[in-house]
Structures are given as C-alpha cells and as structure tokens.
Amino acid sequence: NGKYTVTLIPGDGIGPEISESVKDIYSAANVPIEWEEVSVAPILKGGKTVIPDAAINSVRKNTVALKGPLATPIGKGHVSLNLTLRRTFNLFANVRPCVSIKGFKTPYEDVNTVLIRENTEGEYSGIEHEVVDGVVQSIKLITWDASERVARYAFHYAQASGRKRVTAVHKANIMKMSDGMFLSACRQVAKDFPEISYDEDLLDRACLQIVQNPKPYADRVMVMPNLYGDILSDMCAGLIGGLGLTPSGNIGRDASIFEAVHGSAPDIAGKSSPFIAGKGLANPTALLLSSIMMLRHMNLNEYATKIENAALSTIAEGKTITGDLGGKASTKEYTAAIIEKLRRA
C-alpha cells in the first residue's frame, strides 16, 4: 500500500498520551506511515531484565521505531529498559540536536549544536562489584572500536548536515587511558575528513563556556563518551527551554530508535489504565521532534519540514502552548493547534 511500517512503543506515564498526539498529527499530515504498536512491559528472566519478543521482533523487522518514555521498574535485578533497548540493538550513536526555537524566549538565543553520545559503553557498561566491604568499583569500559565507530558517525553527520567542526569532549587530563584512547580514535578519524575542522574540549571547560555563551558552539557537532553526553545533553536542553523540547535518535546499523529524552512524568500522567485518559498536561513536542528526526532518517523530508514548521510556529506564537512552556493549553488543544496549521499550510 506504499506505506512504511514503523514500530511505536508508547511507553509509560505520559507516553501513551504524547504518542496519541503524534499519531493524530501524522494522520492530519497524511504521512505514509503505518504504526505497529508494541508494549515493552519488562520481564525478569534469569535475574535479568528482558524485553518481550514481540517488541524485539517488531523493531528488528521494521528497523525504525519511535519510543515514548519507559519507567525503570523498581526491584532487584531490573536494569533500565531504555538501556536494554540500546544494548539489544547495538544503537551505538545517540544523536541529540539542541537548537533554539525561534520566537520562544529563553535567556539564550541562537543555540544550535548537536551532541553525539557514545551509546553502548563507558560508565553505562553496567559492570560493578564490591571489592571488599565498603569498597566498590564501577567499571568505565572504553573500546577502540566503539570510539572509532561513534567518531566516524559524528564526522559523517557533520558532513551531511553542513556543520564545519567536530569537537571531542573529554577528561583525558584525568582519565588518561580511557579518554585518551577515545581522543586518539577521534584524531585518526579526523584525518579522513580534511574539510571538517577538529578540536578537543575538556568537559568542565565546555560546560562553563556554553552556559556563559553558547554562540561559539553553534554550527558544530560535539562527540563524547556516554556519561558525558548524558549530562551535557540535559544541560544544553536547559538552554533552549528544557527536556520538553529536545529530540533524540539512537542510531545503529540494523535499527534506529527515536525517543524523547524526558522521563515518564508520573506526576502529571493519568492513571495507568488504557480506559482513563491522560490529564492533558503533557507536552508532546520532544516526542514529535524526535519523530521528525525519524522522518528525515527515512528520507521523508517533505513531511518532516511541514510538521516541524507547524509545531515550531505554534510554539513561537505562544497562544496555544502547554503549561511547562508557560501556556494554558491542554495536550489536545496544543495538538489541535498544530493540526490546524497543517490544514492551512
């Protein structure tokens, strides 16, 4: 039927409500996508968190997924489902653009950077043990292959998006071996991209510089080990209005999963029953912008631009925006305002 099938993982908390909003906007824009909805309720198997086969098979078959927030189940043996998904599909690069929304006022203007976070190892390797009572080791695992792979992705990304510089963010002054090797990998890859300039920045220095003046960081791609990217991406999100506005994509060779960076926000979600609607307080923008990254990944650029313009201009006008952005609109009213713009476009 000429349509693409995409896996949709609505997720927990506000997840179903913001997913509904994306689906409504996609129908209104006639996006040629059919959603295959799957649940990622966690299963404990042999002391490890696993994801239901139906979800795994769906992502594997469709190779593209859009995912709402997943709560990490509380209890012994459970690890984050988000991390389990990244690991299961070897989603090695986490791409987090951070771009000011024109017309939406924050103390910062012209933020325009892209963070690319190594997504499979580092402090997230999950290797921890108690050496003796009162002494614990958490292993930060860095491999040449994963470093080289994410560096290469960052340079390709810069090339494809017309960004002129790649900056590797690190603490090699302290982590001489692990971050040192990460930098060596970046330097080696940089040689293959003579038209893109390359430099290096200490993580703490970069944080200070960016909050004082983000302009020098515009038009570049920053690449870094896993935990640094986790922290720096939240900080940068804060510059443009918060996690309600920032998209992200987890890129792998066999599959890619696009997701909002924010959590499931149980405090503003409806009851966890499919028969009780959400409270209408959630902002679906981050998931919508993540889906727009997904459309571009799928080469559905026209739809991406159309929906992006409708959403961003709705935010810029500021009449029908959600509470977290300083407005009074419900999730549905905001969604309807975007759809109205699509109709008139």
**157 residue type, one letter:** Y
Query: Quick one: 20 or 230, whose CB is closer to ligand IPM?
Result: 230
Regarding 80 and contact with ligand IPM (CB under 6 A), the answer is yes
Shortest Å, Cβ 230 to ligand IPM: 5
- Confirm if 81 and 23 have CB atoms less than 8 A apart: no
Q: Which residues contact 88 (CB under 8 A, 6 or more apart)?
A: 51, 56
Shortest Å, Cβ 286 to ligand IPM: 11
- Confirm if 239 and 210 have CB atoms less than 8 A apart: yes
- Nearest residue to ligand IPM, by Cβ distance, number only: 80
Strand segments, DSSP code E, in the chain are 4-9, 33-37, 43-45, 48-50, 64-67, 93-99, 112-118, 128-132, 135-138, 165-170, 197-202, 220-224, 249-251, 256-259
Query: Quick one: 155 or 258, whose CB is closer to ligand IPM?
Result: 258
Contact set for ligand IPM, span 25-64 (CB under 6 A): none
Regarding 230 and contact with Mn ion (CB under 5 A), the answer is yes
Contact set for ligand IPM, span 209-238 (CB under 6 A): 230
Report helix, strand or coil for 182.
helix
Shortest Å, Cβ 252 to Mn ion: 19
Regarding 82 and contact with ligand IPM (CB under 6 A), the answer is yes
The C-alpha atoms of residue 13 and residue 8 are separated, in whole angstroms, by 15
Which entry of ligand IPM, Mn ion, none binds 159, CB below 5 to 8 A by partner kind? none
Piece of the chain touching Mn ion by CB under 5 A; list 4-12, 50-58, 60-68, 226-234 = 226-234
Regarding 342 and contact with ligand IPM (CB under 6 A), the answer is no
Regarding 121 and contact with Mn ion (CB under 5 A), the answer is no
- Confirm if 29 and 307 have CB atoms less than 8 A apart: yes
Beta bridge partners of 221: 114, 166
Regarding 93 and contact with ligand IPM (CB under 6 A), the answer is no
Query: Quick one: 28 or 51, whose CB is closer to ligand IPM?
Result: 51
The C-alpha atoms of residue 109 and residue 102 are separated, in whole angstroms, by 8
Shortest Å, Cβ 26 to ligand IPM: 23
**Which residues are near Mn ion by CB under 5 A?**
230
**Which residues are near ligand IPM by CB under 6 A?**
80, 82-83, 230, 261
